[in-house]
Amino acid sequence: MKSVLFVCTGNTCRSVMAEAIMKKIIAEKNMDDKIQASSAGIFVVPNDRASFQAVEVMGEYGINNIKGQKARQINFSILNDASVVLTMTAGHKKLLLDRYPVFKDKIFTLIEYADGREGDIEDPYGQGIEVYRRCASELKKYLAKTVYKLGYAW
């Protein structure tokens, strides 16, 4: 089984939405026994929850299970358990590589892993609902490519 870990700053917006969208794709494709998804943040506020806008946008995608999800702080054990670690930005990737160089072979940005090019997923934190919608749409595009790259046919 492949374990995909999504990482952003606070684990309240991008990585939470990436995890939720990936889980939905996995369920729709009956891949629950092949891929699992989780998320964590680099600078987490303990007991912080998904932003209101992230919850609302995920609801628009038919995903209603992120409201109570608590932010999770990245650590060695979480990284060790992941097959692949996908960060939202090059800055996140660099920070993880600086702190945990032993995992250099499995840490990528989402865009790098999915599309083979550099690029960051815009941080919607503190912005309006339209920015969250754009972020979710971008995540969905790269997550579809990620599933394909993991070797599973649609």
Taking phi over 0 as left and psi of -120 to 50 as alpha, with beta for the rest, 91 belongs to alpha
The catalytically annotated residue of 49, 123, 133, 134 is 123
Q: Which residue has the tokens 């912005």?
A: 127
Cα(41)–Cα(64) distance, integer angstroms: 21
The catalytically annotated residue of 8, 13, 72, 135 is 8
Instruction: Count Cβ atoms below 10 Å from residue 69 Cβ, excluding itself.
Output: 18
The catalytically annotated residue of 13, 14, 72, 135 is 14
Q: Is 14 assigned a catalytic role? A: yes
Cα(21)–Cα(136) distance, integer angstroms: 8
Q: Is 123 assigned a catalytic role? A: yes
Q: Is 13 assigned a catalytic role? A: no
Tell me which residues are annotated as active site: 8, 14, 123
